[in-house]
Amino acid sequence: MIRRVLGTTLAGLCALTGPLASGTFASTSGATLTLSASSAQPGAAFTVQPSTGCPSASGLQTVNLTFTDHAGTKHVIGSVETEDDGSWAEAIATLPVAGLDADGTWLDQSVTAGAGTVSAACFLSADDDSEPGDDADDDADGDSGDDDADSDSDGDADSDDGGNFEPDSFSADNFSDDDADVATLTYASVAFTAVGSVGKLSLSAAIIKPGTSVTVTPSTGCAATGVSQVQISLIDLSGESAAPSTQSVTTSSTGTWPATTLAVPASSGTGDYAITASCSSGGVVTGSYDSEPVALGTVRIGAAVCGPRTVFTMLTGTYTGDIAGTEDVSLPSKLALTGAGPWTVNVHSASTGTQLATRTVACAKPQYEVDVPKTGLSNSDKPRARVCNTGRAPVAAILQVLKGKKYLKVDKETIAPGECVWLEGTKLGKGKQAKAQVRIDAPGTGSDEVTETFTVKRPRR
């Protein structure tokens, strides 16, 4: 499980299940929200103020802000803790941009643009032993399901990331099953529109070494009018780095900023990272770009090692993240190859999908080989041979029977590597015998060497 702390530049994406999506919230009781804006671009911050606090009898609670976008998907867009009496004055919300959610899934899409709604709910931990909230807990919990109902149909836990996006103020822990699963109050939804398209970042390389640098180029400038400050950050998606590597740049009066080189400290650990960028004016974040994945370390794909029956390549390097399509694989690792080749090997990050390395490898020539473990006469008095492909590539095997002075083909089958088939000839008369042979028919060479010759005879009866 990948876990990391979110700052201003990496908004979490999340499609909600569980308490926030179950419809079992406590009554709104006329509680309303006031927003500082009626629309915002993903990545731009706005404030949310309540008409009243959370129920005072429930003590300290967590307020989670959500945005239901035009497509009907719910996103956590902020979080704040109340005072001991349940009061809270203001929370900062941010419509999410693409990035890694709290469950470790890389999501390439930000919110769907268009009309949506902002809502908020007060949550009390189910582990809270304070008696005043017991009745409210029972009413709010209802029959919506288990406390752990945070997985979707394909087994991947839905994101419940987000935050009150002050730097390092929010982590996935702030919206865990244990800390925010009993609703004590929900606020009436407020119309809100996601506007504009999110800026994209392009990187000079998808995988780099610690101690080097990467050039970050924006697709568009900051949307805010006038000069803005852009903070570009390299964030460790494993959460192991205490602080991101950052680079600041000032835009022109029209908001444009040039391709910028971000140095990667030599002390950085290898694995999966994200490049993020946000625009701010007067200390207020006015917009963010979709996060772009990057990997630190090296991945090398070796040449094909071609044995008589198997082929493999070695994956080596310093990258320590998970590799797609494999389980519990760390470098170095052996990757088995099947078929005749050549093989194009692509290595991707399991976390972000970043292509780490690619190479086409091949053996000097395909290995065509068959074995004939059994020959004889079938129950229907036909000469037959059991033929197995013991090579690395698909190959055809031919059964021939001697007619006069010439062998004639009576059966032919193409066999995949590791498979076996029976080849059969025509039925023999009583007391008749037949001399037969098996040949390999390798691609591009026609009938090749004889691998087995045998004679069968039908008894007189």
Q: Which of 374, 304, 289 is nearest to 98 (CA)?
A: 289
Q: Which residues lie closer than 8 Å to 304 by C-beta, 6 or more apart?
A: 311, 312, 313, 337, 341, 343, 361, 362, 363
Mean pLDDT computed over every residue of the chain: 79
Q: Going edge to edge, which strands form the sheet with 201-203? A: 201-203, 213-218, 260-263
Q: Name the token pair of 262.
A: 């971000």
Work out the average pLDDT over 1-8. 30
For residue 441, the cross-strand partners are 396, 447
Interval 96-149: pLDDT, tens: 887 755 445 566 667 888 999 999 999 985 454 444 444 434 443 444 334 443
Q: Which of 412, 419, 359 is nearest to 392 (CA)?
A: 419
Q: Are strands 271-281 and 292-296 parallel, antiparallel or unpaired?
A: antiparallel
Q: Which of 403, 407, 405, 397 is nearest to 432 (CA)?
A: 403
399, pLDDT greater than 90: yes
The Cα 78–Cα 95 span in angstroms is: 9
**CA–CA distances in Å: residue 25 to residues 130, 180, 185:** 19, 12, 7
pLDDT for residue 75: 87
pLDDT for residue 199: 86
CA 423 from chain center: how many Å?
Answer: 46
Work out the average pLDDT over 31-35. 94
Residue of higher predicted confidence among 253 and 451? 253
Q: Name the token pair of 212.
A: 């080097």
pTM: 0.59
Q: Which of 224, 351, 356 is nearest to 291 (CA)?
A: 351
Interval 147-203: pLDDT, tens: 443 333 333 333 333 322 222 222 333 333 344 367 899 999 999 999 877 889 999
Interval 405-457: pLDDT, tens: 899 999 999 999 889 999 999 999 998 999 999 999 887 665 577 789 999 99
